[in-house]
Amino acid sequence: MSSLVRLQLLTVVGDDHIDLPRYKCAVDFEFISTVARNVSFNIKKYLYEYM
């Protein structure tokens, strides 16, 4: 997770629970779809909106 934050693909949301951090995606769906397609990963299978 820390690598994704360093790459600015995720952002930390709030700092009230240091032992249970929350993250938010910092890139758009098109970027994620492109990466998933390049590594042959069906991202839609894991997204609630596409179930």
pTM value is 0.66
Domain parsing of the chain, residue ranges: 2-50
Please, which pLDDT band fits residue 51 given cuts at 50, 70 and 90? low
- Per residue in 6-48, pLDDT (tens digit) is 999 999 998 777 778 899 999 999 999 999 999 999 998 988 8
Identity of the residue numbered 35: V
- What whole-number distance in Å separates Cα of residue 46 and Cα of residue 36? 11
